[in-house]
């Protein structure tokens, strides 16, 4: 059993890693396609049918680009930066429940790599480390634009993590657990958290955009002011890692939003479907990916609609609007829970 | 028109700018953001302006002014008589030529008694205005709806007779630009171009 268990977990981790990377790959294409469609263009359609091989071509291109390192850069940290960003982006997927469980030969296998009872805290801890990748990379480049971008990234992520944490606390108060699996299971059917926490959801969504450094919060890589922001000096696959990590983060953020507010792999009328447990699990996984795709679309949709914030506006929104709102949301939630019990 | 108010726009699309304090709802920005997002969403399924170039090409006007052609007449003789009017008319000074007298036995090659031994147009100088075509009294030079190809060397843009003169088995159709009206116009002596 022990041997079987390890084998199963290893397979699951590899499968999730592969799927994350594949989805990130095709998110780049989806992003470009959607950007084009929003602007009445067609987007890349030359590589393969509908441009489906474009991410492959982009990847190969990045591999063949010159590996350039500024002479004055700190070599170790310069390489550590993108590696850390990529590592952290991939780590978060471990606690996300991708589906219910599969029953094979009487054994129950959970479709979650690690159901740790502090799941949300783990996500937070890992996401907070993410800022180090950007910070280290930006600082090690020894370039003022990179440094400015890195400082912006750091202050932005710290500011928005607060509001994000406060909005999640309301969810945790409601469900009484930090385990994402349990939070998801409490939302079985159509009993989604978003109906009880609409304000919390909006705050979380805004903060998720800021955490992933995406428009309208893409100040760390603000092209108009900072050349390329923290990755100005990066080229080849190191740059690729930074760009890729953004899409993985987006995928994971969409997954966490789906799990915390939209019932994860649960869907309405699931208990009425006359199918076996395993089939239901598979449908649930597909439903979760449908939700993730939808939120990925929303992320891109927002990016190609809204212009970038000015830096002082960004800080004002974070500290003066979102944090008070999140505290208000938390207090109201507390009152309601107290009244109901 | 005199009854229009000072700030009324004729098209009706202009908006009067004011510096009034924005209301609480407006300060939320969410309605405005949602409005913006519906606009972008409506563009998602709109007709795309892109033309997939090598497969589909943008339609040219029938009298598009592109690469020149030196016409032959129906018997295959070059029409150009090297009068030099095109070179004089050319505002970019792109046309040069060297004239030569027709020798006996060359009547099947050249229509007039004088012909252009060398006729060169510098395609980098040419502005494709069509004045050469307008000046030509022998209906010899025309602009055609063909694009001058790109090249890596500047000297290859000086097109000689080998490129410009049409071949008899691959004639260039200029009937669209040589209509009876155009011919009549060119024959009018009281026009400035015939001074």
* Nearest CA-CA distance, residue B30 and chain A, Å: 10
> By the CB < 8 Å criterion, does A297 face chain B?
no
CA distance, residue A101 to nearest chain B CA (Å):
37
The partner residue sitting opposite B48, judged by closest CB among A42, A302, A304, is: A42
Mean pLDDT of A147-168: 87
ipTM entry: 0.73
- For the segment A285-300, the average pLDDT, to the nearest whole number, is 90
Mutate to test the interface with A, among B30, B32, B48 (most CBs of A within 10 A): B48
Percent of chain B at pLDDT > 90 equals 32
Sorted by where each begins, the domain ranges of chain B are: 68-194
Q: How close is the nearest chain A Cα to the Cα of B22, in Å?
A: 16
Using a CB-CB distance cutoff of 8 angstroms, which residues of chain B are in contact with residue A45?
52
A306–B49 C-beta distance less than 8 A: no
Q: Residue B126's Cα: distance from chain center in Å?
A: 11
Q: Does residue B179 surpass a pLDDT of 80? A: yes
- For the cut 80, the answer to whether the pLDDT of residue A125 exceeds it is yes
Residue A195: pLDDT band (50, 70, 90) is confident
Q: In the numeric block, which tokens belong to residue A58?
A: 């982009």
pLDDT band at B51, cuts 50/70/90? confident
In chain A, DSSP finds a helix count (H) and a strand count (E) of 12, 2
Q: CB A41 to CB B49 under 8 A?
A: yes
Token pair, residue A67, equals: 């590996």
Residue range A62-112, pLDDT digits in tens: 888 888 888 888 888 888 888 988 898 888 888 888 877 777 777 777 777
pLDDT of residue B160: 92
- With contact defined as beta carbons under 8 Å apart, do B150 and B67 qualify? no
B118: confidence class by pLDDT, cuts 50, 70, 90:
very high
**pLDDT at residue B159 tops 90:** yes
pLDDT at B6: 59
What integer pLDDT is reported at residue B157 of this predicted model? 93
Task: Please name the residues in contact with B2: beta carbons below 8 A apart, sequence gap of 6 or more.
Answer: none
CA distance A3 to A7: 6
Nearest to A40 among B30, B41, B46 (CB): B46
- pLDDT score recorded for residue A313: 84
Structure tokens belonging to residue A138? 């930006």
> Are B48 and A202 an interchain contact pair (Cβ–Cβ within 8 Å)?
no
Two tokens at B114? 């004088």
* Cross-chain residue pair B39–A301, CB shorter than 8 Å: no
Residue where the block lists tokens 């239901």: A280
Residue in A88, A82, A126 with CA at minimum distance from that of residue A231: A82
Nearest to B41 among A41, A301, A306 (CB): A301
Q: Which of B30, B39, B50 sits opposite A42 (nearest CB)?
A: B50
Instruction: Using DSSP, state whether B113 is helix, strand or coil.
Output: coil
Look at the domain B68-194 and name its fold. Alpha-Beta Plaits (3.30.70)
Residues forming beta bridges with residue A110, ordered by sequence position = A101
pTM for the whole thing? 0.77
pLDDT at B101: 92
Would the CB atoms of B52 and A305 count as touching at under 8 Å?
no
pLDDT, tens digit (0-9, with 9 covering 90-100), for A298-339: 999 998 888 888 888 888 888 888 899 899 999 998 898 888
CB pairs below 8 Å between A and B: how many?
A: 34
Listed by number, the residues of chain A in 45-74 with a beta carbon closer than 8 Å to a beta carbon of chain B are 45
Do B145 and B66 touch, CB atoms closer than 8 A? Answer: yes
* pLDDT score, position A294: 92
For residue A43, give how far its alpha carbon lies from the nearest alpha carbon of chain B (Å). Answer: 9
């Amino acid at each position: 059993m022990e041997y079987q268990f390890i084998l199963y977990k290893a397979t699951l981790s590899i499968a999730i890693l592969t799927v994350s990377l594949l989805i990130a790959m095709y998110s780049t294409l989806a992003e470009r396609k959607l950007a084009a469609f929003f602007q009445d263009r067609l987007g890349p359609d030359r590589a393969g049918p509908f441009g489906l091989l474009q991410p492959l071509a982009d990847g190969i291109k990045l591999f063949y680009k010159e590996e350039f390192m500024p002479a004055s850069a700190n070599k170790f940290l310069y390489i550590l930066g993108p590696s850390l960003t990529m590592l952290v982006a991939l780590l978060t997927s471990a606690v996300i429940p991708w589906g219910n469980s599969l029953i094979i030969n009487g054994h129950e296998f959970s479709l979650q790599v690690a159901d740790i009872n502090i799941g949300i805290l783990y996500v937070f801890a890992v996401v907070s480390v993410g800022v180090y990748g950007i910070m280290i990379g930006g600082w090690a480049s020894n370039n003022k634009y990179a440094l400015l971008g890195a400082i912006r990234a750091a202050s932005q992520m710290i500011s928005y993590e607060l509001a994000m944490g406060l909005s999640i606390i309301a969810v945790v108060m409601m469900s009484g657990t930090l385990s994402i699996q349990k939070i998801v299971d409490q939302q079985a059917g159509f009993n989604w958290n978003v109906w009880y926490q609409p304000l919390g959801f909006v705050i979380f969504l805004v903060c998720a955009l800021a955490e992933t450094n995406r428009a309208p919060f893409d100040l760390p890589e603000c092209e108009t002011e900072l050349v390329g922001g923290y990755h100005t000096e990066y080229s080849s696959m190191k740059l690729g890692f930074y760009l890729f990590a953004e899409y993985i983060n987006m995928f994971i953020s969409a997954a966490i939003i789906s799990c915390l507010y939209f019932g994860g792999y649960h869907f309405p009328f699931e208990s009425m479907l006359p199918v076996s447990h395993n089939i239901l699990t598979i449908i649930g996984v597909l439903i979760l990916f449908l939700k993730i795709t939808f939120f990925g679309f929303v992320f891109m949709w927002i990016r190609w609609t809204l212009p970038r914030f000015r830096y002082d506006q960004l800080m004002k929104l974070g500290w003066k609007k979102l944090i008070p709102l999140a505290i208000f949301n938390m207090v109201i939630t507390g009152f309601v829970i107290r009244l109901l019990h | 028109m005199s009854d229009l108010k000072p700030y009324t726009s004729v098209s009706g699309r202009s908006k009067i700018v004011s510096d009034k304090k924005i209301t609480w709802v407006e300060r939320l920005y969410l309605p405005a953001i949602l409005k913006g997002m519906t606009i972008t969403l409506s563009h998602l399924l709109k007709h795309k302006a892109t033309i997939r170039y090598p497969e589909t090409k943008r339609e040219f006007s029938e009298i598009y002014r592109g690469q020149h052609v030196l016409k032959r007449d129906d018997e295959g003789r070059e029409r150009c008589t090297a009068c030099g009017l095109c070179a004089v008319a050319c505002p970019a000074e792109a046309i040069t030529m060297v004239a030569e007298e027709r020798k006996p036995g060359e009547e099947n090659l050249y229509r007039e008694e004088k012909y252009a031994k060398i006729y060169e147009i510098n395609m980098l100088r040419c502005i494709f205005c069509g004045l050469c075509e307008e000046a030509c009294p022998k209906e010899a030079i025309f602009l055609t709806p063909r694009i001058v190809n790109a090249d890596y060397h500047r000297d290859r843009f000086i097109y000689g007779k080998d490129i410009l003169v049409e071949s008899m088995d691959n004639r260039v159709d200029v009937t669209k630009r040589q209509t009876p009206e155009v011919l009549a116009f060119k024959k009018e002596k009281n026009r400035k171009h015939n001074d």
